[in-house]
Amino acid sequence: MLTLEKRPQPSKAFAYLTPLIAILATMFFGGLLFMALGKNPFESIRTIFWDPLFGEFAFYYRPQLFVKGGPLILIAIGLSLGFKAGIWNIGAEGQYIVGAICGAGAGLAFYPMEAWYIFPIMIIAGALGGWAWAMIPALLKVKFQTNEILVSLMLVYVADQLLASMSLGLLKNPEGQGFPGSRNLKDYPSAFNDEIITGTGMHWGVAAAFIAVIFAYVLLNRHMLGFSIRLTGEAPRAAKFSSVNPNRIILFCLGMSGALAGLAGMFEVSGPSGQVSIDFASGYGFTAIIVAFLGRLHPVGIFFAGLLLALTYIGGEMAQGNLGLPSAAIQLFQGMLLFFLLAVDLLTNYRIKLSRKEAV
Amino acid sequence: MDLSAINPALLLASLLVAATPILIAGIGELVVERAGVLNLGVEGMMITGAICGFMATILTGSPALGFLFAALGGAVLSLLFALLTQVALANQVASGLALTLFGLGLSALLGQGYVGLKPPATPKLDIPLLSDIPFFGTVLFNHDIIVYLGIALVAGVWAALKYTRVGLILRAVGENHDAAHALGYKVVRIRVMAIMFGGACAGLGGAYISLIRVPQWTEGMTAGAGWIALALVVFASWKPWRVLLGAWLFGGVTVLQLNLQAAGVSVPVEILSMSPYIITIIVLVIMSADKSRAPASLGRIFHASS
């Protein structure tokens, strides 16, 4: 009979090992899934995880790793702060959309003027947009104890409608022959989020993601506020006694994750995507939840997790083109990863012991 | 704009139809939460139920079998959540989110060959005489059986929680799992059963959307209904009859905004489309003042250290 015994301290070794075990388990069961779909499991897994990095066309796919990973890391870093404190912002997708709308809107307001300060203004507008959208659940939670999970999620659907309204109305390209969607920011040099180094996929959003990783690391390990965040999550009573103001933590965590998600949206709309359009939302806000957990809510872990999930996006697209693997299979694959991760996390906090059957 | 085109009898009748999916999913989640488990995967279970029911109906031609398989699909998916939270002792919020993401992917994969198909219509329960009463006949007595099943479920859950031993044990587990364990109740077993009941209900609710309300299959078609069902439980302060009230309120808002869109009101379509979500938030804010009714063990991990 197997029983579980709680470890006095979470195991350090397993904390590092569990993400790897989860990835291997996902590859195994993912392979079975692909086999059930009539594909060669080894070829599928290789196409997803190996070919984008080392295959024939890797020179094209490698930069994509940053393009897709940047927003994921940026959003996940913000989310991880809240998750650490037990504040569940799951509406990052909405904050991402609003950030994109505000950022693009600020840039397009200047069109066709060219000036160096337009892009910085867009960055600020994008961050503020995401921040403001996240402040809705934050203020409601602080003022009325409203559940932030439900409110932030409801606001995703509201943001979706807002996006539709913007791309059909206020931000619609006046020279677009009636097609929905805004002007393409790629044709507007002052607002275009170009690659910093050509051919690497490194745009300003990726740079921001790097900065966010370092910033979060310093905050959590070297700063009083970061300590308060961790304390609130791990020992709420201790936090109360040491006079941590919970409202301040809520406002900071939700606001920060909103601002980072807004930034991600702004960098995406002004760079890889180029325009505000109805199908702009791509689910990064939800995938970032997986990234945050896979990275064990640790900034450095999130960095690698973001790149890995970006790899599944790119490899998934490749597998779609080369092997005819449906895109939904990749979505399922990502969901599975989170499942296995949560399941094997048991090993971090508990010891499995073989014992004789007792009366329980 | 022509508001006279809106027929109040038909409006109320379609209110009952619009309320049914969130009502069924909501009452299922209420049972789960009364057992002390917070399952945020309702959306994932609903959409899985929607596609399972849709596939079964297309393949067998029988909507009844479709609903059966939808309930089964939802329950099987919820078992994954039960495994994570009750056996592997994982965080319930994270596991629920995982279930939703997983369910959305799974349903999209399963539903690939089913886009654009039309399921056979579910017959309406045409009650003779009663359905001929003017106004009330159209509103109350001219629906498919699931609408009545939803209301019966509410009554059943209410009675079971209030008057039966099973209900008492379930509530005990939800209020204080350590005490319930000490009394010899199988906390984990009871919770797993509650989770599966919730999954089956969510599956039924999802199938109602894909088989009757819409009726066809599109990816992500539940569009947040599962989250609204979760909000309903909070709105209802964990009381069964209030779930019914809440479901009618949200059903009413949904139907009204759709009717206003059709009538061509001068309010932008997007504003009307976002109204059900905004009203959910407003109602949540109003109701969140009263937290006292939440089951005391809600969302807490139970680990019997022998």
The whole-angstrom separation of Cα A48 and Cα A316 is 6
Chain A CB contacts of B105 under 8 Å are: 328-335
**What pLDDT is attached to residue A329?**
82
Query: Of the ranges A120-124, A328-332, B66-70, B160-164, which one carries the lowest mean pLDDT score?
Result: A328-332
- Whether residue B305 lies inside any domain: the answer is no
- Whether residue B126 lies inside any domain: the answer is no
Q: Rounded to two decimals, what is the model's pTM?
A: 0.88
Exposed e or buried b per residue across A71-109, where buried means at least 16 C-beta atoms within 10 angstroms of its C-beta:
bbbbbbbbbbbbbbbbbbbbbbbbbbbbbbbbbbbbbbe
Chain A CB contacts of B104 under 8 Å are: 331, 335
Query: Of the ranges A20-34, A62-76, B64-78, B114-128, which one carries the lowest mean pLDDT score?
Result: B114-128
Q: Which residue in the set B40, B109, B284 is minimally distant from A329, CB to CB?
A: B109
Distance (Å) from the C-alpha of residue A88 to the closest C-alpha of chain B?
8
By C-alpha distance, the chain A residue nearest B222 is A157
Helix (H, G, I), strand (E, B) or coil at B302: coil
> Whole-number mean pLDDT of chain B?
85
Q: Which residue in the set A3, A293, A343 is minimally distant from B88, CB to CB?
A: A343
The whole-angstrom separation of Cα B300 and Cα B35 is 11
**What pLDDT is attached to residue B198?**
93
- Total structural domains within chain B: 1
Q: Is the minimum CB–CB distance between B280 and chain A shorter than 8 Å?
A: yes
The domain that holds B11 is classified in CATH as: 1.10.3470.10
Smallest CA-to-CA distance from A155 within A204, A68, A93 is with A93
pLDDT tier for residue B3 given thresholds of 50, 70 and 90: low
- Could you list the residue range(s) of the whole structural domain that residue B205 is in? 3-115+142-287
Percent of chain B exceeding pLDDT 90 equals 23
With contact defined as beta carbons under 8 Å apart, do A353 and A11 qualify? no
In the block, residue with structure tokens 């991760």: A341
Beta bridge partners of A351: A5
**What pLDDT is attached to residue A136?**
94
Beta bridge partners of A353: A3
Q: Which residue in the set A146, A331, A336 is minimally distant from B284, CB to CB?
A: A146
Rounded to a whole number, what is the largest CA-CA distance in chain A? 78
Helix (H, G, I), strand (E, B) or coil at B116: coil
Distance (Å) from the C-alpha of residue A336 to the closest C-alpha of chain B?
6
Smallest CA-to-CA distance from A194 within A298, A106, A63 is with A63
- HEC sequence for B62-101: CHHHHHHHHHHHHHHHHHHHHHHHHHCCCCHHHHHHHHHH
Chain A CB contacts of B102 under 8 Å are: 332, 335-336, 338-339
For chain A, which residues score pLDDT lower than 70?
1, 355-360
pLDDT digits (tens, 9 = 90+) for B205-261: 999 988 888 888 888 888 888 888 988 888 888 888 888 988 988 888 888 888 887
Domains within chain A, CATH numbers bracketed: 38-325 (1.10.3470)
The whole-angstrom separation of Cα A97 and Cα A182 is 14
With contact defined as beta carbons under 8 Å apart, do B204 and B147 qualify? no
Q: Supply the ipTM of this predicted assembly.
A: 0.84
Partner-chain contact A161 B231, CB within 8 Å: no
Q: Write down the H helix ranges in A169-245.
A: 204-222, 224-234, 236-241
**What pLDDT is attached to residue A317?**
85
pLDDT tier for residue B291 given thresholds of 50, 70 and 90: low
Q: Is the minimum CB–CB distance between B101 and chain A shorter than 8 Å?
A: yes
Smallest CA-to-CA distance from A42 within A31, A56, A53, A52 is with A31
Partner-chain contact B89 A4, CB within 8 Å: yes
Partner-chain contact B270 A164, CB within 8 Å: yes
pLDDT digits (tens, 9 = 90+) for B259-282: 887 777 777 888 888 888 898 898
Q: Is the minimum CB–CB distance between B224 and chain A shorter than 8 Å?
A: yes
